[in-house]
Chains A and B, each alone.
Chain A
Amino acid sequence: MFSRDRWLEIFETIRKNKLRTFLSGFTVALGILIFVVLFGFGNGLRNTFENFFEDDAKNTMWLRSGRTSKPYMGYEANRLIEFDNDDLKEISSRFEFYIEGITPRISFSGNVGYKLESNNYSIRGVGPSHQKNEMTIMMKGRYINGLDIDNKERNVVIGRLVEQDLFKGEDGIGKFISGGGRSWKVVGVFQDDGGDNEERIIYAPYTTIQLIQKSTDKVGQIIISYKPEIGYGGAVAFENQLRKYIKQRKFIDPRDSRGIFIRSAASELKENDQFASVLQYIISFVGIGTLLAGIIGISNIMVFVVKERTKELGIRKAIGATPKSIIGMILQEAIFITTISGYIGLFIGIAFLNFIGDKLEEQYFITDPFIDLSTGILATVILIVFGAFAGYLPAQRAARIKPIEALRDS
């Protein structure tokens, strides 16, 4: 009987028993509030953790070369291995299936100046896809592009702090800086979250660098970003095939652990993911614990409420309330209070998490704590459903009490 009359009767009971309503509502709201806050803090911890690893793209592989440590196929040990343009081309065509972008990185440092200012900077000869690997964000202008590579242009992209150092607040775009006895046109300025050093770098087309370094075809490091959709397994397979292929191509003993080095985010990713899922387990565990405590709290309140109302229920039965209507009344009231206060707790919790934002980042490593609305609502619904179940037993017991027993003593 979910009639309007039933609701009016329940509202009246609620209105006239404010303390009881407040106590049970408060418990439920507090339970949900604690759940939301703990769960949100867990997510905030994970945010902080993920930020640590976000500076470099996750789907990246670094190929470096060094000296061999074993003799092989007529070659001496301690031979210097270097990557060149052919390696770059062969790798990109052979592993096209896995590769999203590939770029060399020729690193050195040199003196660069503008007018009277000059400084020593890291300089990197790179290709266009290097931008993605380093997650370089352009503040103005553009990054190194394909035309720069093809035409071996003397265009450079400089870090924010390079511009600040050399141009003293002036706009650097379109101006010419000097380096290695030549002048270079600034076509872009970038920023980077990685820290000061990352913003004191100058990028130039690798082909131009090769040209001025006595027409070499050496490329230094090779950086590959693989397609994310190949997944962790695909990345590991790719890495193994790539290592085998390069060792073959460069005549390196397959058992030689030196000569070439491949570092991939995939192997690191796995460890990160494990840590993240441990965190997730802890969060879920705490969440479920809080919910359980909430359910136990509601059950206790229901037992208390029914006990307190025993006499009233006896009177109601004496004047004609059926057991069903008694159970219905108690449950409906409980569900109503649980629902309202559950959602109040939910929204206070969410508001609190929003208020926290990054206030706890420095000291407690909690960044932007949040809870999916659906998780919050699910938790609230679970509490309501289990609260109703928990309320059902005492309600049923109350409905079974004989009216004379409820009315005795007085």
Chain B
Amino acid sequence: MIQIKDLHKSYKMGSNSLHVLKGINFNVKEGELVAIMGSSGSGKSTLLNILGMLDLLDKGTYDLDGVPIKNLDETKAANYRNKFLGFVFQSFNLINYKTALENVTLPLYYQGVNRKEREATALEYLDQVGLKEWATHLPSELSGGQKQRVAIARAMVTQPKVLLADELTGALDSNTSKEVMTLIQEINQNGKTILIVTHEEDIAKMCTRIVRLKDGIIMEDKKNKMIKAI
């Protein structure tokens, strides 16, 4: 599903440049649930952002489902993101003046799906994350766990090839984290490829594969016997 060869990325900071990723080689097969681990500042988010086409790579190649991702202009990247990828962020990133349902319909709006169909589909996905009754609520009326589930529904509503999650439990307590991870495992069981960035061992153990980053390279990459979240 994902093939990465010799990926380099540096950030320019004034006259200095910070070499964050120094040659990453990395493949993900369909249906895997991958945890990307590493200490803070090790480049986990940078890698995920490049995979998510939110950021550009400096050197190397990236193929997504056989499509080489290169010469990305903003419009092309936006269309790929919309079609192929779903994002879940640590801080949820819901639009605060839109209801749960409206937030979930938004990716479909950018796909040009008509309003009725958008709402029907979005409601279906809200139901899957157990929040059908909360459809008309604003994010400010939801708990952290509920917000993250709305965000997952929004990420899933376009049926992306890959779900990318950056510290999705970072803002949640351990019980809520487990609930959210249960949902992630369910989605994975249905065949979805998922990459999770985390620095928590507990969360990583709930995945089928753990990749450890250090000093900009992959230090360890091994299969994991998945532990059920609950």
Interface residues of A (CB under 8 A from B): 5, 8-9, 12-13, 16-17, 311-312, 314-325, 399-400, 402-404, 407, 410
Contact check, B109 vs A5: say whether CB atoms are below 8 A apart. yes
Of the candidates A17, A319, A400, A403, which one forms a contact with B106 in the assembled complex, judged by CB atoms under 8 Å apart?
A: A319
CA distance A403 to B72 in the complex (A): 14
Compute how far the CA of A8 lies from the CA of B96 in the bound complex, rounded to whole angstroms.
Answer: 18
Q: Decide if B110 touches A320 in the complex (CB within 8 Å).
A: yes
Q: Identify the closest chain B residue to A324 (Cβ).
A: B75
CA of A399 to CA of B102, assembled, Å: 22
Is A319's CB under 8 angstroms from B81's CB? Answer: yes
B121–chain A nearest beta-carbon distance, Å: 14
Cα A312 to Cα B92 in complex, Å, equals 12
Q: Is the CB of A9 within 8 A of B109?
A: yes
On whether the beta carbons of A317 and B78 are closer than 8 Å, the reply is: yes
Q: In this complex, what residue of B is CB-closest to A323?
A: B74
Q: A8-B115, A321-B78 are in contact. Are A16 and B98 (CB under 8 A)?
A: yes
A-B contact pairs, 6 of them (CB 8 A): A318-B52, A319-B107, A322-B79, A324-B75, A404-B49, A404-B54
Docked Cα-Cα span, A311 to B97, in Å, equals 12
Q: Is B10 an interface residue (CB 8 A)?
A: no
Q: Which residues of the partner chain A approach B49 to less than 8 Å between Cβ atoms?
A: 404
| Separation of A253 and B200 alpha carbons in the complex (Å) | 116
Q: B93 and A318: CB pair below 8 A?
A: yes
Given contacts A318-B54, A319-B154, contact A312 B111 (CB under 8 A): no
Chain A residue with the shortest CB-CB distance to B48: A404
User: Is B95's CB within 8 Å of the partner chain A?
Assistant: yes
CA distance A375 to B93 in the complex (A): 47
Interface membership of B82, Cβ < 8 A: yes
Given contacts A5-B115, A325-B110, A400-B74, contact A320 B82 (CB under 8 A): yes
In the complex, the 3 A-B pairs of residues with the closest C-beta atoms, listed nearest first: A320-B82, A410-B91, A16-B97
The CA of A290 and the CA of B146, in the complex, are separated in Å by 50
Q: How far is the CA of A311 from the CA of B52 in the complex (A)?
A: 18
- Chain B residues near A315 (CB-CB < 8 A): 93-95
Measured between beta carbons, the chain B residues less than 8 angstroms from A311 are: 93
Are B95 and A5 within 8 A (Cβ)?
no
Residue in contact with A320 in the complex, picked from B90, B102, B111, CB distance below 8 Å: B111
* Closest beta carbon of chain A to B14's beta carbon, Å: 17
Which residue from B81, B97, B98 sits with its C-beta under 8 Å from A318? B81
